[in-house]
Structure 1
Amino acid sequence: MTRVRIIAIGMLVAFALASLAYPALLISSHAFGYSAGARVTECHYRPSSGSRTSSGTTRCDGTWTAPGGEPRRGHISGVDDDDVSREVPVRVGLLGARAGNPAATPGFVIGVGWFTVVYGGTGLLLWRGRARRKAAEARFLAVPGGTFLRARPARVTTLDGGPHLTLRRSEGPRPARGGPAPLPRTDRPTPFRSPAGIGTGRGEFGTAHGPDERPRFHLSLFDDEDHEPELHVLDLAGTTRAVVQRSARHPARFRFVSADGEPLGEARANRLHSRITVTDTEGREVVTLRAGTRSWLVRLDPNVPSRLDEAIGAFALHIGRLLL
């Protein structure tokens, strides 16, 4: 979900820059160019290439004097055949000499119009999507029973913002990559290239602190360029207690195993990666995570197995990184 959002935002920004480039050049040329009186010397009609109709454009040339007294000659925009042999006021800037108001040109109107339609429509869709997400969050929180938390990068809080788990970088023992009981080669997802700056090629170590600020457990995240990410949960002495491994990329699936390779549970995401369900070894749904506006909502069942508790906390602290 994070990668899809990054791509979508990048496309919107690129389209905004493209649609506003010509209007911006028009305005800057008019604002920062110099004023001059230009005489239109000739105009030529240019039919559109390949057109079967009489459509085309008229190009007019003329002369004017630069501020230093140097005579100039070139194309003049914003004039037509009726202006031949007349002197018209122009502004000369990045786009050459132009007469009249630049905001009245077709290029300016089309560019600003596209920008208004596309981004006005996008804003409306985002507003409606936000309203739907809030309604979905309300329905999610209305489910009776369980404990509700909110997961953000490196931080899990209660719904009112109180601390539950906080991840801080630290130095400590780091386990060897691979974890217990690695998946068979045929079941491993194909290697992928992590986005620039994400993979470090070695364990990223940190310590999870509880609401009383006391250390609870250590985490070591392996997220390099050549492997699927996996998360090691260690006790305070540095002994591995559990490992979270991604077993499928889309829709994402994760498996939770103990230090000796015994299965603890499994997590499955829907196709949009907006909802993740964690089940124990008996197939019971014990944790549900739902993507919110800027965080994940987490519902913990009262019967979460104690052996799975720390692994789920680690999973919530690194949910964004594990889904990349």
Structure 2
Amino acid sequence: MARRLAAALGLLLVIFAALLFWPVVMTYTFVAGEKATASVTNCETIRNNKSTDTTCTGTWRTEGGDTGSGEIYGLDEDQEGDTVPVRIGPMGPYAGGFGHSWVLFLTAVPALLAPVVVAFSLGPFFSRNRRLARSLLAEPGGGRLVIVTRDAVTHADGSPFATVRKAESPPAGYRRAEVPGRPFRGHQRSVFEAVAGINRDATEFTAVVGTAGRPLMFVEARTSKELETECVLLDAAGAALVVVRRLSAYPLHYSLLSPAGEAIGSARPAVGKLGGNLLIRDAGGLPVATAATSGRRWVVRVESRASSLLRDAALALALIQLRSD
């Protein structure tokens, strides 16, 4: 999720910059561009069924005495032979001021409205997850309550529980667990995902290391161009404990399986469908853990009735959300 959001944010910034290019350039031209006087020597208009395009050329002299010639923008066909004031900017000389070049400012409208639309669209999503996270912290219950970030796990009071780091290689006792039935993705890999490096064929290992410096567990993350993301919870020696299989990205749904393929639990959003929060249930459908995001952290509350496998799987699920594709 974090990688997808970062890539999406980068793409949005590129689009935002592209939409604001002409408005920024034209504002600079008309406000700070060098002043000059231009003589319009020729204007030609090309008309077709959909538009009319006028091109004017001429010569100009700046207030500093520099001269130039070429196309002059922002003129009408009937201005051939006129002498007009212009401003010279990065894209050349423009006449007529803001009023005559207003079309070039239209791209600023979606760029300026987009943050408002995004805020209204995603506001409920983030606020809902934050409220759930706050409620988990306010009512810790009798089980385990931890806060998970990309590089650490802490208790609710801030005391350290474990550190999280990328493992350059699998643990010594690792044997790849293969459970049949991994589903295909609901859609083909997009160009955006390919450019951003999302949903690629890759396997990564994350180590969760206790305060004593010894590994507590590992999380093996498997991504694929064609198959749904799958992660495996490994013990400190590298033996597979739980296969966390994503069945669909929307609505978000995970199946928790033993290495033998037996269902031991499931995870779906506690509220909504987009994720940002999860309710983990055991094989009988009994809720055993709840997790919710708040900013760059996940709050995870595990009920005292949860088995040790599901307790650790809840922690792994939070780590998966922080890095998953």
Shorter-chain-normalised TM-score: which range? 0.7 to 0.9
Q: CA RMSD in A?
A: 4.1
User: How far, CA to CA, are the matches of 1:21 and 1:307 in structure 2?
Assistant: 54
The equivalent residue for 2:316 is 314
Residue number among 79, 94, 99 corresponding to 1:98 in the alignment: 94
Larger deviation: 92-101 or 63-72? 63-72
User: How far, CA to CA, are the matches of 1:71 and 1:21 in structure 2?
Assistant: 25
Contact between 2:130 and 2:292, CA under 8 Å: does it hold in 1?
no
The equivalent residue for 2:209 is 209
CA deviations on 1:220-251 (whole Å, 9 max, x unpaired) are 33334454433333333333333333344433
User: How far, CA to CA, are the matches of 1:73 and 1:140 in structure 2?
Assistant: 68
Opposite residue 299 of structure 1, the aligned amino acid is: R
TM-score, with structure 1 as normaliser: 0.73
Q: Please report how far the alpha carbon of residue 59 of structure 1 lies from its aligned counterpart in structure 2 after TM superposition.
A: 6.3
The equivalent residue for 2:148 is 151
User: How far, CA to CA, are the matches of 1:161 and 1:17 in structure 2?
Assistant: 40
Q: Please report how far the alpha carbon of residue 111 of structure 1 lies from its aligned counterpart in structure 2 after TM superposition.
A: 3.8
User: How far, CA to CA, are the matches of 1:160 and 1:108 in structure 2?
Assistant: 54
Opposite residue 284 of structure 1, the aligned amino acid is: L
The equivalent residue for 1:283 is 285
SS at match of 1:118: helix
**Gaps (5+ residues) in structure 2?**
none
User: How far, CA to CA, are the matches of 1:304 and 1:286 in structure 2?
Assistant: 5
- Percent of residue pairs bearing the same amino acid type: 28
Matches within 5 A, 1:141-290: 141-143=137-139, 145-146=141-142, 147-170=144-167, 171=169, 172-173=171-172, 175-179=174-178, 182-184=179-181, 188-190=182-184, 193=189, 195=194, 197=197, 201=201, 203-269=203-269, 271-290=273-292
**C-alpha spacing 1:18/1:89, structure 2 compared with 1 (3 Å):** same
Q: Please report how far the alpha carbon of residue 301 of structure 1 lies from its aligned counterpart in structure 2 after TM superposition.
A: 0.8
Contact between 1:102 and 1:108, CA under 8 Å: does it hold in 2?
no
Matches within 5 A, 1:124-139: 130-131=126-127, 133-139=129-135
User: How far, CA to CA, are the matches of 2:320 and 2:50 in structure 1?
Assistant: 58
SS at match of 1:77: coil
Q: Please report how far the alpha carbon of residue 300 of structure 1 lies from its aligned counterpart in structure 2 after TM superposition.
A: 1.0
Matches within 5 A, 1:7-156: 9=9, 12-29=12-29, 35-41=35-41, 49=49, 61-65=57-61, 72-77=69-74, 85-99=81-95, 101-102=97-98, 105-107=101-103, 109-123=105-119, 130-131=126-127, 133-143=129-139, 145-146=141-142, 147-156=144-153
**Greater relative contact order (CA < 8 Å, ≥ 6 in sequence):** 2
Q: How many residues align?
A: 313
Is 1:302 matched up with 2:296? no
User: How far, CA to CA, are the matches of 1:133 and 1:239 in structure 2?
Assistant: 33
User: How far, CA to CA, are the matches of 2:226 and 2:113 in structure 1?
Assistant: 42
**C-alpha spacing 1:91/1:108, structure 2 compared with 1 (3 Å):** same
Which structure's CA Rg is the greater one?
Answer: 1
Q: Please report how far the alpha carbon of residue 64 of structure 1 lies from its aligned counterpart in structure 2 after TM superposition.
A: 2.5
SS at match of 1:177: coil
**C-alpha spacing 1:128/1:103, structure 2 compared with 1 (3 Å):** farther
TM-score, with structure 2 as normaliser: 0.73
User: How far, CA to CA, are the matches of 1:129 and 1:223 in structure 2?
Assistant: 26
Opposite residue 94 of structure 2, the aligned amino acid is: R
Q: Please report how far the alpha carbon of residue 207 of structure 1 lies from its aligned counterpart in structure 2 after TM superposition.
A: 2.7
User: How far, CA to CA, are the matches of 1:50 and 1:231 in structure 2?
Assistant: 55
SS at match of 2:265: strand
User: How far, CA to CA, are the matches of 2:206 and 2:113 in structure 1?
Assistant: 46
Q: Please report how far the alpha carbon of residue 106 of structure 1 lies from its aligned counterpart in structure 2 after TM superposition.
A: 1.1
CA deviations on 1:48-90 (whole Å, 9 max, x unpaired) are 8469xxxx78765543358897662543425785x66553332
